[in-house]
Structure 1
Amino acid sequence: MDSLVEIIKESVAEVIGTYTGETPVLRRQFVKQDKVALGEVTAVAGLTGNKLSGAFVVSFSREALFRIVCALFGSCPRETTEEVEDAAGEMANMICGAFRRRFEKQGITLSASTPSIVTGKDYHIHTLCKSDFLALEFDLSGHPLVVEFCLDRQS
């Protein structure tokens, strides 16, 4: 599990650092057993591999996502617009891609779907994962960003 945490941590640092110049700090890691989203804008990508299926979820607080969008486009949003949601999906897609490249070095190749975006507060995310999610909560200048990952073996 430690190598999995490092792979996710490096992937988040690579993508967020490249686009914002900031280094997200890992606050905590935990096994998440409920379905409640941990952010206000969430991107969910399905994962598939040889006899594997899972999900890669990136949840942003509005403030963290607005910081990222501000760094990307030079204009800082004040509300969650379609452009902000698209940026969340693209950031999640890039983090997932960086994760998959690193994960492949462990001998496991995964493909990912285009992320679906969910917005709001206190919503539930239902995936086909039967196993619990590994969750990593990062701090981006005082604002949370959470990455969740699960992977199930298929018979």
Structure 2
Amino acid sequence: MYLENNLLYHKTTVERIQLMGWNFDTVTSDETPVEVTIRNNSFVNLRGTNIFLVLNRANVVYERNIFCVTLDSSYSSYLYKLKSDASTATVADNILYDAGVNWAVAASGSAVMPDTNTLEKVASNPFTTADCSSGIFRKSVQYADYGSDIEQM
């Protein structure tokens, strides 16, 4: 699965989402890894409370995304939970702006855990305009190479 150059947002609240889900209790002999690349996307007022990716065996890459929560919310957030220790995960060069809770890279119980399991936050909103009700988004110049290049819908 490739998710690249998308603008995903919720108009009125902070929404909990999951991009791909797999039942962790499932037993399978299929060890074919799922290839997942999530690159240059903007997620606004969406949190991975339900864990963005829950997979058996996967090679996961998160690069140059913007995760931005502008509304008050106490929901936790996780980028992945992987069952097989043959999985790999690369989480690099992402932007997180969230005045609320810290975000974890991996959910508890994941076979693949990073050395540092917290996404680093930036102090200021990466968008100069983030109007979810009208769908208008403009990034700050310093974040031009991050997130989606879709600025207005």
- TM-score normalised by length of structure 1: 0.27
Larger radius of gyration: 2
Which structure's relative contact order is higher, taking Cα pairs within 8 Å and 6+ residues apart?
A: 1
- TM-score normalised by length of structure 2: 0.27
